[in-house]
């Protein structure tokens, strides 16, 4: 968890993500395949993509097995099913946080390699059902600088 002003950002780290994608495809291949994906349709596959057994959140189970079968013949469909699975895990995470009393999700801002993938972003937006807004900056130092400015202002520093 991280403090943000007078509130807290709840931590919710899953073991899914780019690692599992990289175990199956190179970055160049992910970019190539992503360009062919229709993010508005579902594969119908119920994947829980993990790079190795074990999950922290939203399912706390150190023995949880990855679910990546059946494997479609098409690499694009396989990648799409993994992206759908990762987005479904993200949606489950936000639902779990809401069950614990967190306010409902209203929008998402993302940075990093995954955020640059238009197909994945569209799949995430469809699964989460909220607006995706552009980040003000994708540089970690920009957020740190804003926090320092806020702290200085609250301390009465010029």
Q: What is the pLDDT of residues 95-148, one digit of tens each?
A: 998 998 888 999 999 888 889 999 999 999 999 999 999 888 888 788 788 888
Placement of tokens 């968890």 in the chain: 1
pLDDT tens digits for 42-63? 999 999 999 999 999 999 999 9
Just give the CATH number of 11-154: 3.30.420.40
As a whole number of angstroms, the distance between CA 143 and CA 149 comes to: 10
Instruction: Please give the span between the terminal C-alpha atoms of the chain, in angstroms, as a whole number.
Output: 30
């Amino acid at each position: 968890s991280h403090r943000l002003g007078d509130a807290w950002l709840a931590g919710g780290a899953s073991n899914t993500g780019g690692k599992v994608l990289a175990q199956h495809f190179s970055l160049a291949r992910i970019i190539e395949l992503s360009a062919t994906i229709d993010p508005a349709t579902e594969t119908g596959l119920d994947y829980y993509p993990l790079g190795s057994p074990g999950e922290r959140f939203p399912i706390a189970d150190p023995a949880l097995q990855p679910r990546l079968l059946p494997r479609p013949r098409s690499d694009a469909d396989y990648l799409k099913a993994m992206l759908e699975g990762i987005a479904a895990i993200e949606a489950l995470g936000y639902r779990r946080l809401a069950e614990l009393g967190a306010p409902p999700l209203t929008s998402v801002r993302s940075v990093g390699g995954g955020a640059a993938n238009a197909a994945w972003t569209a799949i995430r937006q469809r699964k989460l059902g909220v607006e995706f807004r552009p980040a003000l900056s994708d540089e970690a130092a920009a957020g740190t600088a804003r926090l320092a400015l806020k702290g200085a202002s609250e301390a009465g520093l010029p």
